[in-house]
Amino acid sequence: MPEESPTIRIATPDDYESVAQLIFRSHTISFAPFASEEWVSTRDLEAYRSRWQETLANAGADDTTYVALIDGEIVGSVRVAPGGSTEFDAQLTGMHVEPDLTGHGVGGLLMARALEFISERGFEGGELGVIAGNTGARRFYEAHGWTLVREMPNGIEGVPVVNYKLG
Ligand SMILES: CC(C)(COP(=O)(O)OP(=O)(O)OC[C@H]1O[C@@H](n2cnc3c(N)ncnc32)[C@H](O)[C@@H]1OP(=O)(O)O)[C@@H](O)C(=O)NCCC(=O)NCCS
């Protein structure tokens, strides 16, 4: 872990390339132990670029992506936006930390900012989905106050997924 502590800021549209690369790397490396080999090998970086270019360009007052930076480089991300099961709940997605920097508190700083945003914007609560086998992330969410509400054994494209709720 570099000596400089991470800073957290709101992502701008210009950050799309760095965010796309970060999440692509995290999916490739950190998801390998529990995602299918086929899923990992069939992803397309260009699709990540398009998705994040559009997401960051269309962000609004209730739809914000935070990034963590060390030495000017984006090393973590999280997005909070409307999209929970009710119109009053936020959805948390895109929580990723650079694979060789996990476990050093970067995710905790991003989560703290995301939780502040959920409260500041007046959302009633929050929701998120995570691959059931991603036990590290599940521990992380539980440590930050999220509680398991639903298990979906058939999940998405056959991958078991679980949902967590805040509030
Ligand atoms: C989940 C994640 C965002 C947490 O960020 P982080 O910076 O590693 O977390 P912190 O250092 O603030 O907190 C550490 C806690 O996170 C959890 N954790 C999850 N994955 C971890 C990993 N690969 N390495 C270390 N800790 C991890 C553990 O609960 C750990 O606490 P513990 O050591 O007491 O068990 C990050 O590990 C990550 O990007 N993982 C891969 C991508 C992912 O699974 N994203 C969630 C998609 S739903």
pLDDT at 3: 66
Domain count across the chain: 1
Q: Is residue 2 part of a domain?
A: no
Each residue of 132-146: pLDDT tens digit?
999 999 999 999 999
Q: CA-based angle 127:26:19, to the nearest 5?
A: 80
Q: Is the CB of 64 under 6 A from ligand 1?
A: no
Q: Is residue 108 part of a domain?
A: yes
Give 58-107 as a DSSP string.
T-BTTBEEEEEEETTEEEEEEEEEE-SSSTTEEEEEEEEE-GGGTTSSHH
Residue 112 scores a pLDDT above 90: yes
Which of 39, 140, 164 to probe ligand 1 with, by most ligand atoms within 8 A of CB? 140
CATH of the domain at 23: 3.40.630.30
pLDDT at 155: 81
Q: What is the CA 1 to chain-centroid distance, rounded?
A: 20
pLDDT at 35: 87
Domain that holds residue 157: 7-166
Structure tokens at 47: 């699709």
Atom of ligand 1 nearest to the CA of 108: 12
Atom of ligand 1 nearest to the CA of 128: 48
Q: Is residue 1 part of a domain?
A: no
Q: Is the CB of 106 under 6 A from ligand 1?
A: yes
Across the chain, mean pLDDT equals: 94
Tokens 């440590």 — which residue?
Answer: 143
75-84: average pLDDT: 93
